[in-house]
Structure 1
């Protein structure tokens, strides 16, 4: 399931995030969702029951050759549907793994505008996953102007797009789960003192006293920390 948060991704929004330290000018990442029929690969596999993860694409002359993992209940039907598309020159099964089947697809002559624009803007696709209705792209760029230019391209092409979040990937390496320092400190203390053990070895009051805050404040802090941790780990993997 993909989030559908009404976040506007334009220059003013990203600049305000930069001003408050949410991102840096040297590196920026964004999650964006678009309808499946907004680009060539999405249109080609429309009408099939599938889940696709785009792994990479390389320019070949005037076209782009994507490699993608596909998970479909009927692979034969999926392959027939894709191969029968006029826009597809060939579909090659490259590998089979636990997460699905790896394919290499070649186009006839039509250039995929969305993938070409991603390449022209020097954006990197960290991850791209799609279903029959929606595709989610995790894009990395050198600065916020690059990402804003890409969204402007989508808007000019009348492609509906929703930005789920914008963040600094460099900061994410040090804090991959997005918790604040105080939330992390509270969770670490709770874990070390046995608050999550069965049976429980300490209480909220005792932990709050160790941190020098009220029981209510400590309770809110670990609740928000757990919510952030789960949202950016287990729940993020299930989307």
Structure 2
């Protein structure tokens, strides 16, 4: 069963992150990264500090093949980085064990905070052994199965009223073909108008679809 773990990594064990956070007042947050051999093309947000100076510095790095600002929201910029990674035991360990970086955040010289996904506990154990063999120290935090994490995230996607409406509609057979109950009957049971119930069901389904297909995590 797939497992998600959180860990804290010293910056010296993550060369890519160290290069990006050389400006001490800059925050970096990666979107999902799937290491494949030496090819890692991360997308990340940067904010605080002088972003123009940050771009100039990164483009001068000999390992950077492509560096593009692809969006800007408020004081944050979204970048795509094509990085020719030198020997990096941390990323090599992830590659060997089929690990995925779901999220990573770094600030200045502070430790990097990661949320990693492994196909199984056995893969996580292999990653730990590889890290130990390469003297990579990290602090392991919360660990949970993928199904547990998905349930926890879904709880943040739906409002209580949307969840109540969807559960009742499902239990009464509203989504069956043919339907076993009408919208009017469900609304009467919840003591709300038919339009209010329709809105709760529609917005709830939209939130679930968006969360499932696009990774949104807020209601």
**For the superposition of Structure 1 and Structure 2, which TM-score range results when normalised by the shorter chain?**
0.5 to 0.7
1:45-104 residue CA offsets vs partner (Å, 9 max, x unmatched): 242121111113466884322111111321012112222222223321111124721111
Conserved 8 A contact 2:16-2:85? no
Backbone CA RMSD of aligned residues: 2.8
Residue 42 to residue 156, structure 1, CA distance change in 2 (3 Å) = same
Indicate yes or no: 2:8 matched with 1:29.
no
Indicate yes or no: 2:141 matched with 1:164.
yes
1:215-230 equivalences in 2 (<5 Å)? none
Residue 79 to residue 121, structure 1, CA distance change in 2 (3 Å) = same
Q: d(CA) in 2 for partners of 1:165 and 1:120?
A: 22
Indicate yes or no: 2:57 matched with 1:91.
no
Secondary structure in 1 matching 2:131: helix
Structure 2: gaps of 5 or more residues: 156-219
Conserved 8 A contact 1:64-1:116? no
Q: d(CA) in 1 for partners of 2:4 and 2:34?
A: 21
Residue 108 to residue 156, structure 1, CA distance change in 2 (3 Å) = same
Residue 82 to residue 154, structure 1, CA distance change in 2 (3 Å) = same
Q: d(CA) in 2 for partners of 1:130 and 1:109?
A: 18
Conserved 8 A contact 1:45-1:81? no
User: Cα offset for 1:114?
Assistant: 2.5
1:119 equivalent among 89, 95, 104 = 95
Q: d(CA) in 2 for partners of 1:51 and 1:154?
A: 26
Q: d(CA) in 2 for partners of 1:92 and 1:137?
A: 23
Q: d(CA) in 2 for partners of 1:56 and 1:176?
A: 16
Indicate yes or no: 2:46 matched with 1:70.
yes
Secondary structure in 2 matching 1:53: strand
Aligned length: 154
Residue 88 to residue 99, structure 1, CA distance change in 2 (3 Å) = same
Residue 52 to residue 91, structure 1, CA distance change in 2 (3 Å) = same
Partner of 1:152: 129
Q: d(CA) in 2 for partners of 1:142 and 1:61?
A: 17
TM-score where L is the length of structure 1: 0.56
Q: d(CA) in 2 for partners of 1:164 and 1:147?
A: 13
TM-score where L is the length of structure 2: 0.60
Q: d(CA) in 2 for partners of 1:101 and 1:69?
A: 6
Conserved 8 A contact 1:69-1:99? no
1:176-204 residue CA offsets vs partner (Å, 9 max, x unmatched): 699xxxxxxxxxxxxxxxxxxxxxxxxxx
Indicate yes or no: 2:116 matched with 1:139.
yes
Conserved 8 A contact 1:63-1:112? no
Residue 39 to residue 142, structure 1, CA distance change in 2 (3 Å) = same
